[in-house]
Copies of this chain bind each other. A is one copy, B any other.
């Protein structure tokens, strides 16, 4: 998925081509003539531009929020914030983008300079970052290590730094994987100065944004990163979802498993103490996991889309 964009000159060239093609509506041949390139070169640049994420195409009306559903959801689960994006599209990438956009707008609205913002690791958070243009100046803290996936571009590691740059606030980030082979390695990593620098901030985080992962059915980056045998034993222990690396059962009770000690992330108790944790959920199959996270008190705000909200409402308590 992530193509190499080369150095800065290459990058700017690619952007120039993309701008002329997509925004100015010129033909590839015109662009080729203008920039003294072959039309094939232009086509290839555009191809990399898209596959690398330099050019992003969004479909759907931005910011269309289903106010009725949002308010029902907020009431049903006693949430601090509930935003339901009204989308007819069930394409994962579109849902993610729209939820990301709504989350970005919510964050811009509710974060103040007195906050300390924590960020988990999820593709929806990358989508949020992509849509974020403005944020009150506040520190930004990385809550978990990274999980690389073939379908997520490498620069996602820069999530915390990017958001902090937009916020013009300090960034507490580190480069470490979310899951390591053994508990000892985790201990060693946690003692790394830059990791410790971030974890020390966990207690002062006032608002956090996390992705919601489902284990049954499996739609979770954490689940995918665990070997099949361990997946089975964790499911047997009752794990049904995860938020920011914290494993939860169907009722939202945190599950402590051998895996827990091999993860670089905020622990359940600390996550629960954060005054406001906004979960991003897309794909209605994840609704039970979101329900668990809310009931367990790990998530107090939700940004999601129509079908997800309906699924949640269908199983609302009382």
Contact = CB atoms under 8 A, between A and B. Distances in A.
Interface of A: 5-12, 14-16, 18-19, 22-23, 49, 53-63, 65, 67-68, 70-72, 74-75, 81-83, 86-89, 91, 93-94, 102, 105-106, 108-110, 129-130, 155, 158, 162, 165-166, 168
Given A7-B108, A55-B58, A109-B7, A88 B15 contact: yes
Contact of A15 (B57, B70, B93, B166): B70
Contact of A88 (B5, B12, B58): B12
7 contacts: A8-B105, A9-B109, A11-B67, A16-B71, A60-B130, A87-B165, A88-B168
A89 B19 contact: yes
B12 A67 contact: yes
Nearest to A16: B71
A153 B7 CA distance: 30
B59 A18 contact: yes
Contacts of A129: 62
A87 B83 CA distance: 31
A12 to B, nearest CB: 4
A19 B70 CA distance: 11
B65 A12 contact: yes
A93 B23 CA distance: 9
Contacts of A12: 65, 67, 70-71, 74, 81-83, 88
A225 B10 CA distance: 38
Contacts of A106: 7-9
Contact of A9 (B8, B83, B158, B166): B83
A162 B64 CA distance: 9
A56 B62 contact: yes
Given A6-B109, A9-B110, A75-B16, A61 B54 contact: yes
A24 B19 CA distance: 21
Contacts of A72: 19
A156 to B, nearest CB: 8
Contacts of A86: 165
A129 B61 CA distance: 11
A271 to B, nearest CB: 21
Contacts of A109: 6-10
A56 B59 CA distance: 6
Nearest to A84: B12
Contacts of A49: 59
Contacts of A110: 7, 9
A174 B108 CA distance: 27
Contacts of A22: 57, 59
B65 A8 contact: yes
A53 B57 CA distance: 11
A292 B212 CA distance: 54
Interface-central residue, A19, A49, A109, by most chain B CB under 10 Å: A19
A26 to B, nearest CB: 12
